[in-house]
Amino acid sequence: MSQRGLEALLRPNSIAVIGASEKTGRAGNLMMRNLMAGGFSGPIMPVTPRYKAVCGVLAYPDVGSLPFTPDLAVLCVRAERNLLLLEELGARGCKTAIVLSSLPQQLAELKACAQRFHMRLLGPNSLGLLAPWQGLNASFSPVPIQKGKLAFISQSAAVANTILDWAQQRSVGFSYFISLGDTLDIDVDDLLDFLARDGKTSAILLYLEHLNDARRFMSASRSASRNKPILVIKSGRTPLAQQLLNSEQGLDAAYDAAIQRAGLLRVQDTHELFSAVETLSHMHPLRGDKLLIVSNGAAPAAMSLDELVRRNGKLATLSAETTSALQTALSDVIHVRNPLDLRDDATPERYKAALGPLLDSNDYDALLIIHAPSAAALATDAAKTIIHAVHQHPRGKRITLLTNWCGEYSSQEARRLFTEAGIPTYRTPEGAVTAFMHMVEYRRNQKQLMETPALPAELHADTAHAHKLIHQALAEGATHLDTHEVRAILQAYGLNTLPTWIANDSAEAVHIAEEIGYPVALKLRSPDIAHKSEIQGVMLYLRTATEVQRAAEAIFDRVKRTYPQARIHGLLVQSMANRAGAQELRIAVEQDAVFGPLIMLGEGGVEWRPESQAAVALPPLNMTLARYLIMQAVKGGKIRGRSALRPLDIPALSHVLVQVSNLILDCPEIIRLDIHPLLASGSEFSLLDVSMQIAPFSGDPQARLSIRPYPQQLEEKITLKDGSECLFRPILPEDEPQLKAFIAKVTKEDLYYRYFSEINEFTHEDLANMTQIDYDREMAFVAIRRQGNTSEIIGVTRAISDPDNIDAEFAVLVRSDLKGLGLGRRLLEKMIGYTTAHGLIRLTGITMPNNRGMIALAKKLGFEIDVQLEDGIVNLMRPLNQPPNT
């Protein structure tokens, strides 16, 4: 759908109110009053046959009578009339409409009508939208809204009203305030794409109850979060709450994983959201994660410290230099340490004395100043002193400062002063620390988003063999495979299970045990008994033939007594793995209703509750993302203390997780996988028990994934003019070092032609943005040439499409010493083929008039050339596909 429609919605030049009314309390009256009061500068046209004028504005009897087509129409009529009015508006060429209410049975017709006329719809059941920079209040909210840099998007009208009320009291302004309603058309991802490019928006807040399209959400949010902080509050954490909200039954931990993967920050409740808004409104970017606490009393300092420890935060350590300076500035009765307790008789002067050395210090990343009500220092006086000291100090603007003025009545004025001074302030010590930890987590998520991944060594994947085995099992009617049946499939991906044999009775079990050697384990095979431990269906450390025989017969007897109808498919016989000093882990893959396949990591256990016992990640995984998943499991207590005998080898476990991820990506028939337990002993991993659920799959295997994986099918070998071979493939995040080396071999002149400015050096962030692309909306192909045992990038072409998938802007860069080999032409032909197949309408580019080589190449490949001598540029445009009928 079109971003151009969003321009008409969020920056309209004219508005029609369909169903405008003079009657107080009617939706059409309230909408007209709010639009008039908002200060909108364009025409507001009430449409109603009942009145000559509404709110003093000339009214029109119907849509056909309007003097011109409005950009935006607001439907304030009975729901039964929506469809007919939408047809009339579409026929007039109206670009967008806000539908305030509708009937459930008409939703599909409304959506079809809007698509037919290329209209965008906000709602239905939307509170509307406010855009104070445009003087636009097309909403039911009577609360005035101030101009600001925060955009708020809400799927709940009730939450939107609450935030509006809170923001009015705290003087928090917004660039946009949008209530989505039922998201029949316009959804979160559309608005993220728009707001990411909006100059008035510096941060985005989301209230989510559900997602309609996880792939589009991930794609848009990953792109937007590279430019602006995005905070999310997601309700419906439990299945019961999801039922109440009528939202998709997705695992809450999957939302956590998705939000973290996209570089966003999740807050848990509205109180945390208010704190986060306060933080985003005023706080400087955080340099690190060490906090220094100053308080006029031990108790509030202790409360902040407890919260910091609970959230795994870090206290800053004071250097000898800072300690000495503080000791000199303060009296001997003050014990200098962190937290710094200035005592309950601390005056504004004592705060000022402590602040001097602290503002000079680099020992911390953020400074929290706490003030409890005190007769020695009135709250307002202490606040004024601190504000003045910070503003006067040369480093004051660069310090990340948080304040907590406790109490209610006595601290109101102080908190107002801090807000006006641009210093974030909180009502409780815990709230201030929560805000700090939000910033730490956001910084960590952003760092993870930009970190250069590493390719694992010796990745093994025999996809064709795995497919053959899975299809063979399906052809035989098998849908649930256990350890011995999945062994060959896992081996195709370098995952090794313990050798396993099947015994149909106790005698056969003894014979197998004699062959493989003692001790052995026996495990019941029955598709009807999920938890074998319920009937002691697993017997370990059997050391003699007698023990094996008795254990086997006992298992069969217990099944007959407890589950007489259960099907028994014999026993699995395995050698006992060496468990001394080893850890039992569990890796599972489940299908989430919203995000598709999830990879879970935790410890073994009969009752597997992934929402509380596992760390969760979305595939595809690389070594860096796998390591984050492991660290998340360790820090969250999902994987407990490691054995001192054989510590957990994190790179080796990361390798296992990447192999599991690749298996799931390549084999969409795998619905569920459970490796339980995975025995970890140092760098050795044994898959003791594995179960797999499979089902036939048809269609696009990537459609089930919330993040599009590396498109391997686009790899192609190319022969250049000199007879040398190189590989054209999509760029990978792991290419960052090679890309940096490539750019170093491009002349300054060629770089100037490419980037229209002199480039001295690309930062890690620049290179990360070039290599860590979202394949859904951007493509870059690199030309790779092998030199002995190493490979190097010798050329790059890149195309970035607009959110509507209509235009893509391309660029080509070839290593300066390798021109004349036809590399630039072959790269551009590759991009033309890709963008054409991707459904784009046009491929465009810009170069300079004296870049004759590029202009000549573009002409040969069918580009239209438009020389703009006044601007010193040449526009290149090549049609690709026919535009859709309008």
Confidence of residue 645 (pLDDT cuts 50, 70, 90): low
Higher pLDDT, 247 or 61: 61
The secondary element (H helix, E strand) that includes residue 614 is strand 614-617
Give the residue ranges of DSSP H helices in 171-238: 188-196, 214-224
* Residue 646 confidence (pLDDT): 64
Which of the given ranges, 348-357, 684-693, 754-763, has the highest pLDDT on average? Answer: 348-357
291 with 314: CB under 8 angstroms?
yes
128 with 179: CB under 8 angstroms?
yes
* Residue 527 confidence (pLDDT): 79
What six digits make up the tokens of 2? 């079109």
What six digits make up the tokens of 865? 């050339």
pLDDT in tens, 490-547: 999 999 888 888 899 999 999 999 988 889 889 888 877 877 777 888 888 899 999 9
Find residue 426's DSSP bridge partners. 404
* Residue 635 confidence (pLDDT): 85
148 with 175: CB under 8 angstroms?
yes
- Nearest of 625, 638, 620, 702 to residue 253 by alpha carbon: 638
Does 194 score more than 90 pLDDT?
yes
* Residue 644 confidence (pLDDT): 46
Residue 598: phi and psi, rounded to 5, are -120, 140
* Residue 157 confidence (pLDDT): 79
Mean pLDDT on 52-76: 97
Please state which architecture CATH assigns to domain 3-279. Answer: 3-Layer(aba) Sandwich (3.40)
Does 606 score more than 70 pLDDT?
no
Please state which architecture CATH assigns to domain 284-450. Answer: 3-Layer(aba) Sandwich (3.40)
Does 2 score more than 60 pLDDT?
no
Domain positions in the chain are 3-279, 284-450, 712-879
pLDDT in tens, 783-801: 999 888 889 999 999 999 8
Give the global pTM.
Answer: 0.85
Mean pLDDT on 78-84: 94
* Residue 283 confidence (pLDDT): 60
Confidence of residue 249 (pLDDT cuts 50, 70, 90): low
Residue 248: count other Cβ atoms within 10 Å of its Cβ. 16
Confidence of residue 342 (pLDDT cuts 50, 70, 90): very high
Residue 152: phi and psi, rounded to 5, are -120, 130
* Residue 545 confidence (pLDDT): 93
Cα 746 off chain centre by: 35
Does 577 score more than 80 pLDDT?
no
Higher pLDDT, 766 or 475: 475
Q: Judge if 284-450 and 712-879 fold alike in CATH terms.
A: no
pLDDT in tens, 253-288: 899 999 999 989 888 877 777 777 777 666 677 888
What's the CATH fold of domain 712-879? Aminopeptidase (3.40.630)
